[in-house]
């Protein structure tokens, strides 16, 4: 048994993701565990379909076991997102490889970049560039170019390279034996608005969804069929459906309270609160955004505020692994992990909540996040989805 891990969002699952799983299998992996963002994703947005549907589709498209990245980490910077996801994979105690897509397609180059990134992230020069108004990616790229040259700095300008670097840094931080393995992204780049060889970025597909344009050729048939069913039931979601709730919550929040939310500091709390009089979410975001404060960061802050995530939550590593979907090989992964795992894994959020004080806190936040997600659906979904969800084993094309 050779188990590979994949960190993903599958929002939605598309042909590029299918290619990545196929290449991971070809590299020797007999079993694949995917650690996936839940109902809220790292770019500070709402997932198009809920986490249970996306996890089920991931298993039907090639993954064997899907474990949720807690909202605390899925709504955080690339560094903390990687740290939380890698920690969950490492905690299974049986994963040998971490497979991820990148623009460069070379794990050795990314490993060297991770060393450079660690040195630069601890330097005073980086803080000076950030204080000067640069975003973190631009500041890091600038500093790496000064210290290591142009070629190395270019690795920090591509989003999937940057995530790969953070994965490698996270593996080192938790002294993991998991080896990094990267697959060069095929055709469409991250956030690209172009289609090539039947592959497009998730950003392009989400744009098609927003425009009502057909995207069925860009995703496996099972995914397009599932999306159509969700649309018919009003079970697709959009952040615009939370506009009034976000504006209301922000108008009721003082700057001192906003300071407790991750990624808020250095006066950003006042800038956000002063924009609470905006008449739309789009207007609010445009007022707050600057070169330093990216749109994704601002949206993550607003959603974290809504859910109730605090800075102190970021000091806690994921206290459990919530299983969202699995097949027979996924059961084999869990059997292999038995006696080796360092945190509890279960399909039941209520059972996981009983394992520790930190687990209870994370479970409460997750349940609240899902309740808020239910309000983001085109047809409002009932609450307590997380505690009522029933997870079964997918086999022979049927979900039990």
**pLDDT digit string (tens) for 150-188?**
889 889 888 899 999 999 999 999 999 999 999 998 754
Please, are residues 33 and 3 in contact by the beta-carbon 8 Å criterion? yes
Residue 108 lies in a domain: no
Whole-number Å distance between alpha carbons of 46 and 52: 14
Query: Is 8 within a domain?
Result: yes
* Cα(141)–Cα(155) distance, integer angstroms: 8
User: Within 13 Å, how many C-alpha atoms sit on residue 271's CB side?
Assistant: 16
Say how many domains are in the chain: 3
pLDDT at 399: 37
pLDDT at residue 58 in the model: 98
Report whether pLDDT(207) > 70.
yes
Band the pLDDT of 50: cuts 50, 70, 90.
very high
- pLDDT value for 395: 77
**Residue 180 domain-assigned (yes or no):** yes
Q: Are 92 and 128 part of one and the same domain? A: no
User: Based on the domain organization, do 366 and 336 belong to the same domain?
Assistant: yes
206 inside domain: yes
Question: Are residues 274 and 340 located together in one domain of the fold?
Answer: no
In a shared domain, residues 254 and 204: no
Mean pLDDT confidence for 218-229: 97
Same domain, 49 and 135: no
Whether the link from the prior residue into 12 is cis, omega within 30° of 0, is yes
What is the model's pLDDT at position 400?
A: 30
Both 13 and 68 in one domain: the answer is yes
Three-state DSSP at 123 gives: coil
Do 133 and 179 sit in the same domain of this protein? Answer: no
Mean pLDDT of 94-116: 95
Residue 222, domain extent:
3-103+161-238+315-399
User: Given this model, what pLDDT does residue 59 score?
Assistant: 98
What confidence score (pLDDT) does residue 93 get? 98
* Cα–Cα distance, 338 to 53 (Å, whole number): 27
The three-state secondary structure class of 69 is strand
CA–CA gap between residue 109 and residue 152 (Å, rounded): 8
Q: Which CATH number belongs to the domain containing residue 324 in this structure?
A: 3.40.50.620
Rounded Cα distance, 31 and 319, in Å: 24
User: Which single residue is written with the structure tokens 């084993």?
Assistant: 393
Is 35:7 a contact under the CB 8 Å cutoff? yes
Residues 283 and 374 in one domain: no
pLDDT of residue 192: 60
Question: What value, to the nearest 5°, has the Cα angle with vertex 30 and ends 25 and 34?
Answer: 75
Do 130 and 257 sit in the same domain of this protein? no
Which segment of 25-34, 95-104, 181-190, 245-254 scores lowest on mean pLDDT? 181-190
Last residue of a domain, one of 313, 342, 373: 313
Residue-level pLDDT at 205: 95
Is 303 within a domain? yes
Size (the chain), residues: 400
Using pLDDT thresholds of 50, 70 and 90, give the confidence band for residue 190.
Answer: low
- Same domain as 352, residue 296: no
Angstrom distance (rounded) from CA 57 to CA 69 = 17
Provide the pLDDT for residue 397.
40
Q: How far apart are alpha carbons 151 and 157 in whole angstroms?
A: 11
- Domain closes at, from 280, 313, 346: 313
* Residue 74 within any structural domain of the chain: yes
For strands 97-102 and 65-69, give the pairing: unpaired
For residue 106, report the phi and psi dihedrals to the nearest 5 degrees.
-135, 110
Give the integer Cα–Cα distance in Å for 213 and 198.
15
- Let me know whether 287 and 346 are in one domain: no
Greatest Cα-to-Cα distance within the chain, rounded to the nearest angstrom: 57
Among residues 266, 298, 313, the one where a domain terminates is 313
Say if 276 falls within a structural domain: yes
Contact between residue 10 and residue 39 where contact means Cβ atoms under 8 Å apart: no
The DSSP line for 219-231 is: S-HHHHHHHHHHH
264, part of any domain:
yes
Q: What is the pLDDT of residues 267-323, one digit of tens each?
A: 999 999 999 999 999 999 999 998 888 899 999 999 999 999 999 999 999 999 999
Same domain for 144 and 44? no
Q: Which helix (H) or strand (E) holds 234?
A: none
Distance of CA 100 to the CA centre of its chain: 13
């Amino acid at each position: 048994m050779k188990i590979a891990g994949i960190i993903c969002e599958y929002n939605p699952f598309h042909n590029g993701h299918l290619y990545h799983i196929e290449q991971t299998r070809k590299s020797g992996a007999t079993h694949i565990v995917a650690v996936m963002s839940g109902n809220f994703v790292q770019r500070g947005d709402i997932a198009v379909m809920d986490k249970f549907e996306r996890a089920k589709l991931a298993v039907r498209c090639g993954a064997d076991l899907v474990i949720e990245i807690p909202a605390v980490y899925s709504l955080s910077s690339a560094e903390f997102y990687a740290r939380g996801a890698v920690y969950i994979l490492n905690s299974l105690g049986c994963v040998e490889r971490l497979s991820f897509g990148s623009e460069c397609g070379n794990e050795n180059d990314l490993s060297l970049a991770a060393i450079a990134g660690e040195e630069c992230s601890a330097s005073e020069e980086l803080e000076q560039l950030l204080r000067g108004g640069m975003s973190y990616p631009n500041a890091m790229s600038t500093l790496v170019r000064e210290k290591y040259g142009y070629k190395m700095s270019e690795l920090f300008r591509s989003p999937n390279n940057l995530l790969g670097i953070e994965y490698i840094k996270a593996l080192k931080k938790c002294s993991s034996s998991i080896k990094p393995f990267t697959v060069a992204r095929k055709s469409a780049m991250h956030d690209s608005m172009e289609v090539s060889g039947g592959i497009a970025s998730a950003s392009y597909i989400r744009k098609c969804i927003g425009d009502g344009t057909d995207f069925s050729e860009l995703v496996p048939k099972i995914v397009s069929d599932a999306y159509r069913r969700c649309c018919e039931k009003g079970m697709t979601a959009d952040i615009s459906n939370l506009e009034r709730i976000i504006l209301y919550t922000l108008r009721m929040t003082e700057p001192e309270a906003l300071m407790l939310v991750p990624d808020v500091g250095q006066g950003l709390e006042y800038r956000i609160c002063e924009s609470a009089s905006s008449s739309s979410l789009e207007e609010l975001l445009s007022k707050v955004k600057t070169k330093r404060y990216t749109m994704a960061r601002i949206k993550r802050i607003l959603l974290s505020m809504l859910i109730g995530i605090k800075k102190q939550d970021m000091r806690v590593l994921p206290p459990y692994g919530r299983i969202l979907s699995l097949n027979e090989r996924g059961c084999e992964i869990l059997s292999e992990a038995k006696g080796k795992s360092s945190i509890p894994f279960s399909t039941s959020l209520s059972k996981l909540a009983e394992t520790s004080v930190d687990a209870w806190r994370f479970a409460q936040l997750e349940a609240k996040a899902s309740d808020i997600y239910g309000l983001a659906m085109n047809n409002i979904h009932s609450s307590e989805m997380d505690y009522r969800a029933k997870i079964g084993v997918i086999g022979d094309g049927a979900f039990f």
